[in-house]
């Protein structure tokens, strides 16, 4: 579950930029692959339960309440608890919505 606190700046009529911190909590995890599970010992217990991130994005408000936005989440905490690998939750989001 992601819990962002975003600050919006309206650059022009309809265009907005947003940024802010985001806290994420892992609600559940599973791994299923018969061939890999026994061979490599994959385990979800080593996955961190909490992640902190910085979110940046741009949005556009269309007429009649429609809106579009794109954002990037820049995860700060490593995904795995006990690993030397540098693996982070990072990714792009695209969304469309309607305000009512």
- Residue 81 DSSP one-character state: S
Residues 6+ apart with CB under 8 A from 40: none
Domain that holds residue 63: 2-98
Domains held by the chain: number: 1
Q: Distances from the Cα of 2 to the Cαs of 17, 73, 79, in angstroms?
A: 19, 11, 15
Instruction: Give residue-wise pLDDT tens across range 50-90.
Output: 999 999 999 999 999 999 999 999 999 988 887 777 889 99
The pTM of the full predicted model, rounded to 2 decimals, is 0.76
φ/ψ of 63, rounded to 5, equals -60, 160
Instruction: Give residue-wise pLDDT tens across range 6-17.
Output: 999 999 989 999
């Amino acid at each position: 579950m992601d819990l962002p606190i975003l600050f919006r700046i309206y650059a022009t009529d309809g265009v907005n930029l947003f940024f802010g911190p985001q806290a994420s909590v892992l609600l559940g995890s599973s791994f299923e692959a018969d061939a890999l599970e026994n061979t490599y010992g994959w385990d979800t217990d080593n996955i961190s339960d909490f992640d902190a991130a910085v979110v940046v994005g741009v949005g556009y408000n269309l007429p009649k309440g429609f809106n579009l936005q794109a954002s990037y989440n820049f995860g700060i905490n490593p995904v795995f608890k006990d690993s030397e690998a540098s693996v982070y939750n990072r990714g792009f989001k695209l969304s469309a919505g309607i305000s009512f």
